[in-house]
Structure 1
């Protein structure tokens, strides 16, 4: 019997949305609207968490877009609102991606708090650095839950979940995957400023489909790699 993605999604929707403690590789606290909240970092392929990303993140974005349309109906200019809204990844379907990206070269990470996914990241490894010698990892997808981003609907629930998850990914890649301390990615247009801010370097020759290519490599690791390559 062959199951479709819709069949799998319906089965997951009928399952209690209780995230398993299995796969937890780290714990910490987040600063939230109502004080400190515990979070966990989950490693590995997880259909339930991916489906929760689709359900909960998608529901918030629908509510957000309805609110923006309501503002438009009231005669408010929504062009600046849409320009600042971080909806470029609204079409992403995390369950589809989880079913598609499988194998030892792909690793999934989820940041969970209050029994909901607050951020997600998929990386590919190893990836040759374009800056220096050695292998790093490549971020296929990374995103924070939409309620953790600036929006006109409500104050952000948690701040900094994307960078916090990325820090854990970098540490895992270095300590467990034994890669150089660095990563590359193709940035969504509205995320370019963030990657420039954290010191990533653009390499236009690797841009694709309107997405700018960035790479960051720890300066100490880069110097060590170049030294090893040129004894």
Structure 2
């Protein structure tokens, strides 16, 4: 019997949303609106978590869009709101991506807190560095839950979940995958400032489809140290 993505989605929707402890690679404390809570970072292909990203993140985005339309109906100029909003990954479907990106060259990571995925990341490895010898990894997709971003609907729940997840991915790539320090990615336009802020360098020759290519070039002193 052949199952479609929608068949799989319906089965996952019907299953208890209990996240398995299998695959936890680190734990810690996360400060935010609810106070300080425990978080876990999971490594591995997990359809349940991917589907939870779609369900919970999608529901929040729908509520946010409805709120913005309500403001518009009241005469509020929503152009500045939409300019600041981060809807560039609104169409991403994490379950679809999980079913497509499989194999040893892909690694999945999720940051979980309060029984919900707060951030997700998919990497590809090995990837040749564009500035030096050796293999690094490439970030295919990375995103935080929409309630962890600045928005007009509600106060951000947690701050810094994206960098926290990325830091763990970087250490995993070096220690478990035995890659040299460094990674690359193509940035969504509204994320460019963040990657520039953390010291990544843009390489225009590798841009694609309106997205800038960045690589995190590790200083030689840090790489040796």
Please state which band the TM-score falls in when normalised by the shorter chain: over 0.9
The 2-side partners of 1:221 and 1:134 are apart by 16
Deviation at 1:217, TM superposition (A): 2.4
The 1-side partners of 2:178 and 2:22 are apart by 23
The 1-side partners of 2:81 and 2:207 are apart by 28
Asked whether the 8 Å contact 1:202–1:213 carries over to 2, the reply is: yes
Q: Secondary structure at the match of 1:205?
A: helix
The 1-side partners of 2:220 and 2:26 are apart by 25
Deviation at 1:221, TM superposition (A): 7.1
The 2-side partners of 1:132 and 1:207 are apart by 18
Change (3 A) 1:40 1:212: same
Other-structure match for 1:148: 148
Deviation at 1:137, TM superposition (A): 0.2
Unaligned runs of 5+ in 2: none
Deviation at 1:102, TM superposition (A): 0.2
Asked whether the 8 Å contact 1:39–1:112 carries over to 2, the reply is: yes
Q: Secondary structure at the match of 1:181?
A: coil
Other-structure match for 1:94: 94
The alignment covers a number of residue pairs equal to 224
Deviation at 1:62, TM superposition (A): 0.1
Asked whether the 8 Å contact 2:181–2:223 carries over to 1, the reply is: no
RMSD: 1.0
The 2-side partners of 1:73 and 1:35 are apart by 35
Q: Which runs of 4+ in 1 moved over 3 A?
A: 221-224
Deviation at 1:157, TM superposition (A): 0.2
Deviation at 1:32, TM superposition (A): 1.3
Residue correspondence of structure 1 range 15-26 to structure 2 within 5 A: 15-26=15-26
Q: Secondary structure at the match of 2:40?
A: strand
Q: Secondary structure at the match of 1:95?
A: helix
Other-structure match for 1:113: 113
Unaligned runs of 5+ in 1: 225-231
Residue correspondence of structure 1 range 42-121 to structure 2 within 5 A: 42-121=42-121
The 2-side partners of 1:93 and 1:34 are apart by 27
CA displacement, residues 81-101 of structure 1 (integer Å, 9 cap, x when unaligned) = 000001100000000000000
Asked whether the 8 Å contact 1:132–1:222 carries over to 2, the reply is: no
Other-structure match for 2:171: 171
The 1-side partners of 2:193 and 2:127 are apart by 23
The 1-side partners of 2:223 and 2:28 are apart by 32
